[in-house]
Amino acid sequence: MTNPAIKVENLSKTFLTREGFWKRKTKKINAVDDLSLQVEQGELYGLLGPNGAGKTTTVKMLATLLLPTSGSVRIFDLDAVKDTTEIRRRIGFAFGGNRGLYGRLSARDNLRYFAELYALPPEVTRRRIPELLEMMGLSGRENDRVETYSSGMTQRLHLARALLHDPQLVFLDEPTVGIDPVGARELRQMIKDLIKRGKTILLTTHYMAEADELCDHIAIIDHGRIKAEGTPSRLKTLVKKESIIQAKVEQKNLPALKNIVTPLESRFPVNYVNENPFVLINITTPEPAPILDELLPLLSQHVLDSLEVRNQTLEDVYVAIIQDKAA
Amino acid sequence: MSASFFRLGWRQMDVQLRTRVLNLWTMALFFIQPAIFSIVGMILSHAAGNTSPDLVYTVIGGGIMGMWSGLVFTSTYDIRTDRREGTLELIVGSPTSLRRVEGFRTLLNILAGLSSMAFAVLAAVLIFGYDFSGVNVTGIVISMLFILFALWCMGLFLANLLAWSRLSGTFVDLLEMPMALLCGFMYPISILPPWLQKVSAVFPIRWGLEGLRESMLSATFTPHLFSRWLLALGISLAFLLLARWLDGKVHDHIRITGELHSI
pLDDT tens sequence across A52-106? 889 999 999 999 999 999 999 999 999 999 999 999 999 999 987 778 899 889 9
pLDDT recorded at residue B263: 42
Closest-CA residue in chain A for B23?
A: A104
Closest-CA residue in chain A for B255?
A: A66
Mutation site, A106, A113, A166, interface B, largest B CB count within 10 A: A113
CA distance A240 to B57: 83
CA distance A53 to A61: 14
pLDDT at A326 over 60: no
pLDDT recorded at residue B236: 96
pLDDT tens sequence across B129-155? 777 777 888 999 999 999 999 999 998
Q: Count interface pairs A-B at CB distance under 8 A.
A: 82
Q: If you average pLDDT over residues A182-204, what whole number do you get?
A: 88
pLDDT tens sequence across A19-56? 777 777 888 888 999 999 999 999 999 999 888 889 99
B197: domain range? 3-257
Least confident of A162-171, B118-127, B214-223: B118-127
Q: What is the CB neighbour count within 10 angstroms for residue A255? A: 9
CA distance A95 to A101: 11
Chain A residues lying within 8 Å of B89, measured CB to CB: 60, 65, 95, 100
B96 touching chain A per CB within 8 A: yes
B165 touching chain A per CB within 8 A: no
CA distance B60 to B66: 10
A272 touching chain B per CB within 8 A: no
pLDDT tens sequence across A113-156? 999 999 899 999 999 999 999 988 888 888 999 989 988 889 88
CA distance A135 to A26: 48
β strands within A175-240, DSSP E: 200-205, 217-222, 225-230
Q: What angle do CA B61, B64, B70 make, to 5 degrees?
A: 140
Which residues, other chains included, contact B59 with Cβ-Cβ below 8 Å and sequence gap of 6+?
Answer: B38, B41, B42, B120, B121, B123, B124, B130
Contact between A12 and A32 under an 8 Å Cβ cutoff? The reply is yes
B249 touching chain A per CB within 8 A: no
Contact between A100 and A84 under an 8 Å Cβ cutoff? The reply is no
Chain A, 62 to 91: residues with Cβ < 8 Å from chain B are 63-67, 85, 88-89
Considering the domain boundaries, does residue B159 fall inside one? yes
pLDDT recorded at residue B107: 87
pLDDT at B82 over 70: yes
Considering the domain boundaries, does residue B88 fall inside one? yes
CA distance B135 to B59: 15
Considering the domain boundaries, does residue A320 fall inside one? no
CA distance B153 to B206: 14
Record: contact B87-A101, CB cut-off 8 A: yes
pLDDT at B225 over 70: yes
Cα of A182 to nearest chain B Cα, Å: 26
CA distance B140 to B124: 17
User: Is the same domain home to A112 and A18?
Assistant: yes
Measured CA to CA in angstroms, residue A232 lies from A201, A214, A228, A327, B2 at distances of: 16, 10, 11, 16, 48
User: Is the same domain home to A96 and A163?
Assistant: yes
Phi-psi region for residue B49, left (φ > 0), alpha (ψ -120 to 50) or beta?
left
Q: Which residues pair with A306 in a beta bridge?
A: A248
Considering the domain boundaries, does residue B263 fall inside one? no
User: Is the same domain home to A30 and A89?
Assistant: yes
pLDDT at A297 over 80: yes
Does residue A180 or residue A116 have the better pLDDT? A116
Nearest to A117 among B86, B91, B261 (CB): B91
Contact between A191 and A44 under an 8 Å Cβ cutoff? The reply is yes
Measured CA to CA in angstroms, residue B227 lies from A287, B196, B213 at distances of: 94, 20, 14
pLDDT recorded at residue A2: 78
pLDDT tens sequence across A249-280? 998 888 888 888 888 888 888 888 888 889 99
pLDDT recorded at residue A11: 94
As for how many domains chain A has, the answer is 2
User: Is the same domain home to A199 and A133?
Assistant: yes
Mark which of A213, A236, A259 sits at the end of a domain.
A236
pLDDT recorded at residue A201: 95
pTM exceeding 0.90: no
Does residue A18 or residue B154 have the better pLDDT? B154
Cα of B3 to nearest chain A Cα, Å: 9
B91 touching chain A per CB within 8 A: yes
CA distance A265 to A263: 6
pLDDT recorded at residue A276: 84
User: Is the same domain home to A128 and A214?
Assistant: yes
pLDDT recorded at residue B52: 56
User: Is the same domain home to A220 and A299?
Assistant: no
CA distance A291 to A269: 13
Which among B225, B97, B230, B85 is positioned nearest to B160, based on CA atoms?
Answer: B97
pLDDT at A298 over 80: yes
pLDDT at B182 over 70: yes
**Prediction ipTM score:** 0.82
Considering the domain boundaries, does residue B22 fall inside one? yes
The pLDDT-based confidence of B262 (bands split at 50, 70, 90) is low
User: Is the same domain home to A170 and A205?
Assistant: yes
User: Is the same domain home to A148 and A124?
Assistant: yes
User: Is the same domain home to A75 and A91?
Assistant: yes
* Main-chain dihedrals φ then ψ at residue B54, nearest 5 degrees: -90, 65
User: Is the same domain home to A253 and A116?
Assistant: no
Contact between B250 and B166 under an 8 Å Cβ cutoff? The reply is no
pLDDT recorded at residue A78: 94
Does residue A208 or residue B50 have the better pLDDT? A208
Which residues, other chains included, contact B217 with Cβ-Cβ below 8 Å and sequence gap of 6+?
Answer: B56, B135
Record: contact B18-A65, CB cut-off 8 A: no
Closest-CA residue in chain B for A12?
A: B256
Which among A183, A131, A134 is positioned nearest to A154, based on CA atoms?
Answer: A183
CA distance B102 to A229: 42
pLDDT recorded at residue B63: 81
The domain that holds A186 is classified in CATH as 3.40.50.300
CA distance A17 to A28: 6
Mark which of A204, A236, A268 sits at the end of a domain.
A236
Which among B160, B3, B5 is positioned nearest to B96, based on CA atoms?
Answer: B5
Record: contact B95-A118, CB cut-off 8 A: yes
The domain that holds A275 is classified in CATH as 3.30.70.120
Chain B residues lying within 8 Å of A105, measured CB to CB: 15, 18-19
Least confident of A61-65, A103-107, B120-124, B185-189: B120-124
User: Is the same domain home to A40 and A187?
Assistant: yes
Considering the domain boundaries, does residue A231 fall inside one? yes
Which residues, other chains included, contact B243 with Cβ-Cβ below 8 Å and sequence gap of 6+?
Answer: B99, B153, B156, B157, B159, B160
As for how many domains chain B has, the answer is 1
Closest-CA residue in chain B for A13?
A: B256
Chain B residues lying within 8 Å of A122, measured CB to CB: 7
Does residue B26 or residue B135 have the better pLDDT? B135
Chain B residues lying within 8 Å of A112, measured CB to CB: 11
Considering the domain boundaries, does residue B71 fall inside one? yes
Record: contact A102-B85, CB cut-off 8 A: yes
- Helix A151-163 crosses helix A181-196 at what angle (to 10 degrees)? 10
Considering the domain boundaries, does residue A84 fall inside one? yes
Q: Which contiguous run of DSSP H or E holds residue B9? A: helix B3-16
A273: domain range? 243-311
Nearest to A102 among B15, B257, B261 (CB): B15
Record: contact A113-B11, CB cut-off 8 A: yes
User: Is the same domain home to A222 and A250?
Assistant: no
Per 3-state DSSP, what percentage of chain B is helix, strand, and coil (rounded to 5)? Answer: 80, 0, 20
B26 touching chain A per CB within 8 A: no
